[in-house]
Structure 1
Amino acid sequence: MRHLSTKLLAGTVAGSLLVAAAAAQADRSDWPSNFTVGTASQGGTYYVYGSGWANLVADELGISGGGEVTGGPTQNLALVHTGDISFGLTTMGPASDAVKGESPLAPGVPMDNVCALFPMYETPFSITALSSTGITSISDIPDGARIGFGPSASTSDTYFPAILETLGVDFQRRNGGWSDLGGQLQDGLLDVIAFAAGIPIPAVSQLEVQTNVNIIEFTEEEMDTVLENFPVSEFWIPASTYSTLEEDARAVSMWNFAISRCDLPEDFIYEVTKVTMENNDKMRNMHRSAETSIPENVVHNTVLPFHPGAARWYQENGYEIDESLIN
């Protein structure tokens, strides 16, 4: 009799499992069968981060997904908005432009099918000059100074010139790769380099070895002006970043956020957000910048609406999302 009861119990349990599995499968009926994450060029942080994140989500949720090489933040916004890709990575500056219909890829077209998912990491804006120039502050930069702003159309080249103009700096604009600009600074062909890049910046570290440099910080008043006029956040460059620094230097940074199509299923995005926010150890293993990919940093998005699925996860876990910022 006991043997028969065990069989009946086993059958009941098996049946329950089948019902649960069927229910789970039914819940996924409107999920996409695969997804793509728009990143940037190979070899950059976006490509490594985005591909790693795509693999994590694909493995945890059991669907096919991967990273795709793109033109970076601005193009990712456009590709997500049009539905060509499901997910992308972007910075708050291009996101702000896209929402207002000021994207250079689609002038006059507000991108309203782009929703925020989670915070990634910060891109600091920092300024470097040779000590021999005597430039120790932004106000010291002479009129007509030759300033290197990085690759053309990069985040640095898009926003740093406008930031310096707002602070009253008159300059001649120069573009190029960071290493090339570092060489020009050392040779006296540039007066200043305005970087928007992850720290430590290899070009600055190399300059420190070869010559004396000044890492120029924003004054508190300059920082407040920039915060008021641009989609950036307060940032401190740790003194340990460069041998030149004796104490932390005041700067600003632009946050990077992962984005998705707003029309993706809420349950799907809830699970994507859950996997990402509850596995920071795995995120850090794919790229060390993911140490700031934590829910506490969700407050740094004030530009894009959050996907309802992402917002639900944050709210369920005690993180406040303003209702006006939920799509």
Structure 2
Amino acid sequence: MKLGALVAATAVAATAASAQDREGWPESFTVGTASQGGTYFAYGSGWANLVAEELGLSGGGEVTGGPMQNMALVHTGEAQFGMTTMGPARESLEGTNPIAPGLQMTNACAIFPMYQTPFSVTALSSSGITAVSEIPEGARIGFGPAGSTSDTYFPLMMDTLGVNYERRNGGWSDLGGQLQDGLLDVIAFAAGIPVPAVSQLEVQTDVNIIEFTEEEQAALIEAFPISEFEIPADTYTTLEGPARSVSMWNFAIANCELPESFVEAVVDVVMSDNERMVNIHRAARSTVPENYDKNNVLMWHPGAAKWFKENADADIPDDMIFGM
């Protein structure tokens, strides 16, 4: 065979293989994130854009109500991808997601570890509030978007710690503005760090980032599906040292029916170059293959399981892989 014909034949074969590899792939995709001003929106929009660019598809992040709504959107296929935390994921599987009570959202699969969501409290320095125990009776506390991880768990945590409050909801940017305008006393954040709304507040005014005491931390860990966490001192200019906190793991999710080769390619883009992800958001320092084992709730998408087994020597049992 002449060289020209060989090259042409090779090109045709490569094109055919590429077409075969992409069989069933969607032409576009959506990643369910959360409200603007929160970490989910920045992180989710970032990896959506990265995947779209690398795979030559149309895709992007979508503003949602956060982890609970993302489980519903991905389960029904209204969004191909989303992000959730382990607490809301468990509730969704059990049929206690408030968005659709009784519906077991078993068609949302884990695809890669994201980061831990610390729970933290912020107040204006002018308020004089420097500890949870100093939050005044009937304080107006912003808990984030309704149905979010923060809104689901932080009020219960405040109840556990004996705080009496008036509950407020809204997007993180909006709540930050309300705090600055004196319409809120405290914001209870559950978001990857640094939280954009807190970073913005620091630029505009003086704030107190309030840590839990050892006793408060222990009480919360005993009562909720969370673990110990320290917010590093370099996270915010306000912090003079690490701040004691608690956290819950986040995972990216996909509709379980998406093609295996498509999800494997998406996971490869996100997990194969951590530096690119950290450039999107510093919370992605935890978006590394070895953290695959932090998922003990959701079934794995077979495409994601394949990637982690082949690239991270992951020990994922068959009974944790969708369709196996």
TM-score of Structure 1 vs Structure 2, range by shorter chain = 0.7 to 0.9
Q: 1:50 touches 1:67 (CA, 8 Å); kept in 2? A: yes
Q: Distance in 2 between matches of 1:130 and 1:63?
A: 44
Q: Deviations over 1:165-218 (max 9, x none)?
A: 334x14123325134235549xxx84x6533243362477479737xx572324
Number of residue pairs matched by the alignment? 312
Say whether 1:236 aligns with 2:234: no
Distance 1:282 1:199, change over 3 A: closer
Secondary structure at the aligned position of 1:124 is classed as strand
Structure 1 counterpart of 2:245: 251
**Aligned-residue CA RMSD in angstroms?**
3.2
User: Per-residue deviation at 1:310?
Assistant: 0.6
Higher gyration radius (CA): 1
Q: Deviations over 1:88-146 (max 9, x none)?
A: 122333222211111111101110000111122333212356889997665x4589453
Q: Distance in 2 between matches of 1:34 and 1:20?
A: 23
Say whether 1:101 aligns with 2:95: yes
User: Per-residue deviation at 1:82?
Assistant: 0.7
Structure 2 counterpart of 1:126: 120
Letter in 2 for 1:148: I
Q: 1:150 touches 1:156 (CA, 8 Å); kept in 2? A: yes
Q: Distance in 2 between matches of 1:264 and 1:163?
A: 37
Q: Unpaired runs of 5+ in structure 1?
A: 1-6
Secondary structure at the aligned position of 2:312 is classed as coil
Q: Unpaired runs of 5+ in structure 2?
A: 170-174
Choose the corresponding residue for 1:209, options 206, 211, 220: 206
User: Per-residue deviation at 1:24?
Assistant: 2.8
Distance 1:143 1:132, change over 3 A: closer
Secondary structure at the aligned position of 1:317 is classed as helix
Choose the corresponding residue for 2:33, options 39, 43, 63: 39
Distance 1:130 1:62, change over 3 A: closer
Q: Percent identity?
A: 52
Secondary structure at the aligned position of 1:17 is classed as helix
Distance 1:279 1:100, change over 3 A: same
Q: 2:29 touches 2:58 (CA, 8 Å); kept in 1? A: yes
Letter in 1 for 2:164: F
Q: How does 1:105-116 map to 2 (within 5 A)?
A: 105-116=99-110
Q: Distance in 2 between matches of 1:226 and 1:59?
A: 42
Q: How does 1:240-279 map to 2 (within 5 A)?
A: 240-241=234-235, 245-279=239-273
Say whether 1:175 aligns with 2:183: no
Q: How does 1:189-228 map to 2 (within 5 A)?
A: 190=185, 193-197=187-191, 198-199=193-194, 201-202=198-199, 205=202, 209=206, 213=208, 215-219=210-214, 222-228=216-222
Q: 1:128 touches 1:216 (CA, 8 Å); kept in 2? A: no
Structure 1 counterpart of 2:172: none
Distance 1:276 1:11, change over 3 A: same
Structure 2 counterpart of 1:60: 54
Q: How does 1:19-98 map to 2 (within 5 A)?
A: 19-42=13-36, 44-98=38-92
